[in-house]
Chain A
């Protein structure tokens, strides 16, 4: 009766939206990898992939890079988490701001700032040069692993910290009472119990590295990588082979899907629940140990926050072409933006606002449907929402551009597609954020409202929405942050006049115009920072509760 409408209808609409804008483009790109230019079934794409050395090399490089960065992130993240969880160090409060730094400093700006420090025209490079010390080339493996580690270690840090905090101290004491020394106890008892959390976060880091575009293209000129190759195959579309784009995209989808599958399988297999016990006490370190721990933690913090400072300084620095005149200050870089590039700022604000509005509305509705109004469609919705996780921004951009460049719905080249791409990338996380409070809202609350004469739709707005508000606010802020910084999907589909801040920064970095890129970078960070600041300080939003 009235049970199916309106929730059933809304579920159906949400399903149709996801089928059209996620499933259809992705299935399309998978299918096109099996079709040659004449439209016949063929394995030509995969044949080329396996036989032209550079594709296999790129695949191998991506995997090696993924493993190396994951390893480095694990070392840094676990070590830092261990120090913060167990020892009373002077600036431990700052450590808890680290996750924020990753939000506020987009990875593109991070890559740019490190090029400004260690690159061909870098600060440190020149400094060492003056002393006659040659600096190893930053572009390539070294730079890639270094910058990506600093960008992604936070994932493992947070996972390890949560696991260490939840760790039952009495287990450790049990170990010690059986005659193991404290350090041995750690290695034997504590570390094994945090492995599931760390490994699970590590697999996420691996997928992020493999899908990474911004850092890979800025620093990886010498190292062919799957994501960069996929992007290039699309950019050179006129001369390129469309089958090859699809094939490369398919390979990276399969790679990420495989890793995510491994992660899920691993979690389901070794889910030993830790009984929430006493949080272990934080002890004071003495002597050199204290200095060492403080020093390492401090270094990680400084390196994480440094890019913001470098870009800030760079934006006020005089430059001629690629050469930075450090120490000479100017406002030129900003006035140029005011004079010529306000449209870029406008584009960023416009696209990100629309994507955030659309994304959060959709996430709120869908999370409500999935948690409170489960129907026959729900599990399909669940699965469709996982799809954006399996594809990198580049692949999403290509699949959207290919999927909507002909047929009844031509969106390629429109601003709508830009907004859509930005919104879709964040959607799974948005739904997770928005539903975080929903599980705690008892069904009887809605029934109470309905029994008092308020229809189900208005009950949703009166009763449920206010209680979902904290989760929705977190979803909105995080969606905003990621859409303002979005590069990999939008750079594939943008047209002239649709440049956003990250796209402009990307182009300036390519031309080695770092000072001008820095000014855009600062504006980009300010646009990100303002809502984050308001959310956390004024609205008391907990960004990392879920």
Chain B
């Protein structure tokens, strides 16, 4: 059981700085997700933790031990790869036993552990098969068993689900998460899929251009994005320009958005005083326009509707010309809205404000 700390990690290739100073602590037993688009440095950071990449500056610590200079094979990690990386000439059993044999575990114990882990990932009886005789989901289960059976100090997963089809991916989330909880293994999970990150993690670190933009519990990152980038990358968000009008003491500020008065919390300070209001589609209310819009409300016209069973999405064109998405759940009061209806979009009191420029 290991706490992982990353201290001031930088990595450059030539003049390109891929990691620009990562400082972070991952508490023991946490499922920690690095979320970001390709090229943000998340895989490089994972490989720094694994030891395949040596950081230009900074250090990696497993518990109290500084492992920066320790080669990967002595770091006692487990790693799961996007392409499974199963040894194609070895049976499922031999694949899972590989790390135990390297540790010179007695034969009888190897047999017991391997079978236990194959059972845990739901592959009992598959030991004799070759990896080629398995489906993608089964292969990734073997890879997971292989990485966990050695009791790694840290489990590292590099986009392990992205080669699987959608249904399997959802199923494998459960498999991975419940195994992680059972074994209480500190896990670093790299993905570009925000849904995956939200569904599985204890903590999400949203990465951008070699930095961690925001870090927190999934619901916190989702509900309280500190930047426009995070609000867009995690979940979907409507962003409208907001002009600060009055600053209050209790953290609530007043803004003017498209001619209406808004109030809400500022998530982080803008250096240049320019803000955006962030509103999740499901947090917006929508109703037929009967009167002029009030506080925190804007009027517009429905330009498209999509009925999706338990929810309905609307696209609304505001007076200013910008568009917002609104989602409603269950049945609407009164008659359903259709294209061309004049509506009032209500931002209610859940608005939050983030700096317009990325800092």
Name A residues whose Cβ lies closer than 8 Å to a Cβ of B: 1-3, 442, 444-445, 447-456, 459, 462-463, 466-467
**Shortest beta-carbon contacts, A-B, top 5:** A452-B99, A451-B79, A444-B85, A448-B85, A444-B81
Distance to closest chain A CB from B110 (angstroms): 13
In the complex, what residues of A have CB within 8 A of residue B74's CB?
453
A-B contact pairs, 8 of them (CB 8 A): A3-B54, A444-B82, A448-B85, A451-B73, A452-B146, A453-B103, A455-B73, A467-B88
Whether B83 and A442, one on each chain, are in contact in the complex, defined by CB atoms closer than 8 angstroms, is: yes
Tell me, in angstroms, the Cα distance from A444 to B52 when the chains sit together. Answer: 11
Question: 8 Å CB contacts to A: which residues of B79-105?
Answer: 79, 81-83, 85-89, 98-99, 102-103
In the complex, what residues of B have CB within 8 A of residue A454's CB?
73, 98-99, 102
Distance to closest chain B CB from A470 (angstroms): 11
Whether B69 and A1, one on each chain, are in contact in the complex, defined by CB atoms closer than 8 angstroms, is: yes
Whether A453 and B79, one on each chain, are in contact in the complex, defined by CB atoms closer than 8 angstroms, is: no
Tell me, in angstroms, the Cα distance from A2 to B68 when the chains sit together. Answer: 12
Whether A447 and B52, one on each chain, are in contact in the complex, defined by CB atoms closer than 8 angstroms, is: yes
Q: Is B285 an interface residue, CB under 8 A from the partner?
A: no
Q: Is B76 an interface residue, CB under 8 A from the partner?
A: yes
Whether A447 and B79, one on each chain, are in contact in the complex, defined by CB atoms closer than 8 angstroms, is: yes
- Extra A-B contacts (4), CB below 8 Å, given A451-B73, A459-B73, A467-B88: A447-B50, A452-B102, A453-B73, A453-B103
Whether B83 and A1, one on each chain, are in contact in the complex, defined by CB atoms closer than 8 angstroms, is: no
Q: Is B63 an interface residue, CB under 8 A from the partner?
A: no
Tell me, in angstroms, the Cα distance from A2 to B89 when the chains sit together. Answer: 28
In the complex, what residues of A have CB within 8 A of residue B73's CB?
450-456, 459
Q: Is B72 an interface residue, CB under 8 A from the partner?
A: yes
Tell me, in angstroms, the Cα distance from A236 to B198 when the chains sit together. Answer: 84
Whether B85 and A442, one on each chain, are in contact in the complex, defined by CB atoms closer than 8 angstroms, is: yes
In the complex, what residues of A have CB within 8 A of residue B75's CB?
451
User: Known contacts being A1-B54, A466-B89, A467-B88, is A453 close to B150, with CB within 8 Å?
Assistant: yes
Q: Is B122 an interface residue, CB under 8 A from the partner?
A: no
Q: Who on chain A is nearest to B53 by CB?
A: A3
Size range of the interface on B?
20 to 34
User: Known contacts being A2-B71, A447-B79, is A452 close to B98, with CB within 8 Å?
Assistant: yes
Q: Is B36 an interface residue, CB under 8 A from the partner?
A: no
Q: Who on chain A is nearest to B152 by CB?
A: A451
Residue of B78, B81, B143, B146 with most chain A CB atoms under a 10 A cut-off: B81
In the complex, what residues of B have CB within 8 A of residue A462's CB?
98
Residue of B50, B72, B75, B82 with most chain A CB atoms under a 10 A cut-off: B72
User: Known contacts being A1-B69, A2-B71, A467-B89, is A453 close to B76, with CB within 8 Å?
Assistant: yes
Whether A447 and B54, one on each chain, are in contact in the complex, defined by CB atoms closer than 8 angstroms, is: no
In the complex, what residues of B have CB within 8 A of residue A466's CB?
89
In the complex, what residues of B have CB within 8 A of residue A450's CB?
52, 71-73
In the complex, what residues of B have CB within 8 A of residue A451's CB?
50, 72-73, 75, 77-79, 147, 156
Tell me, in angstroms, the Cα distance from A150 to B135 when the chains sit together. Answer: 50
Distance to closest chain B CB from A9 (angstroms): 16
Select B98's contact among A2, A442, A449, A467, beta carbons within 8 Å.
A449
In the complex, what residues of B have CB within 8 A of residue A459's CB?
73
Tell me, in angstroms, the Cα distance from A392 to B91 when the chains sit together. Answer: 47
Tell me, in angstroms, the Cα distance from A444 to B98 when the chains sit together. Answer: 15
Select A445's contact among B50, B85, B150, beta carbons within 8 Å.
B85
Tell me, in angstroms, the Cα distance from A3 to B50 when the chains sit together. Answer: 14
In the complex, what residues of A have CB within 8 A of residue B81's CB?
444, 447-448
Tell me, in angstroms, the Cα distance from A355 to B340 when the chains sit together. Answer: 84
In the complex, what residues of B have CB within 8 A of residue A455's CB?
71, 73
Tell me, in angstroms, the Cα distance from A445 to B146 when the chains sit together. Answer: 13
Q: Who on chain A is nearest to B77 by CB?
A: A451
Question: 8 Å CB contacts to A: which residues of B117-157?
Answer: 143, 146-147, 150, 156
In the complex, what residues of B have CB within 8 A of residue A448's CB?
79, 81, 85-87, 143, 146
Whether B89 and A452, one on each chain, are in contact in the complex, defined by CB atoms closer than 8 angstroms, is: no
Q: Who on chain B is nearest to A2 by CB?
A: B71
Q: Who on chain B is nearest to A442 by CB?
A: B83
In the complex, what residues of A have CB within 8 A of residue B147's CB?
451-452
In the complex, what residues of A have CB within 8 A of residue B83's CB?
442, 444
Select B87's contact among A1, A445, A453, beta carbons within 8 Å.
A445
Tell me, in angstroms, the Cα distance from A452 to B86 when the chains sit together. Answer: 12
Tell me, in angstroms, the Cα distance from A448 to B69 when the chains sit together. Answer: 19
Distance to closest chain A CB from B215 (angstroms): 25
In the complex, what residues of B have CB within 8 A of residue A444's CB?
81-83, 85
Tell me, in angstroms, the Cα distance from A444 to B54 when the chains sit together. Answer: 17
Q: Who on chain A is nearest to B82 by CB?
A: A444
Tell me, in angstroms, the Cα distance from A442 to B147 when the chains sit together. Answer: 18
| Contact code string B39-52 (vs A, CB < 8 Å = 1, else 0) | 00000000000101
In the complex, what residues of B have CB within 8 A of residue A463's CB?
87
Distance to closest chain A CB from B94 (angstroms): 11
Question: 8 Å CB contacts to A: which residues of B187-214?
Answer: none
Q: Who on chain A is nearest to B99 by CB?
A: A452
Question: 8 Å CB contacts to A: which residues of B234-274?
Answer: none
Q: Who on chain A is nearest to B156 by CB?
A: A451
Q: Who on chain B is nearest to A3 by CB?
A: B54
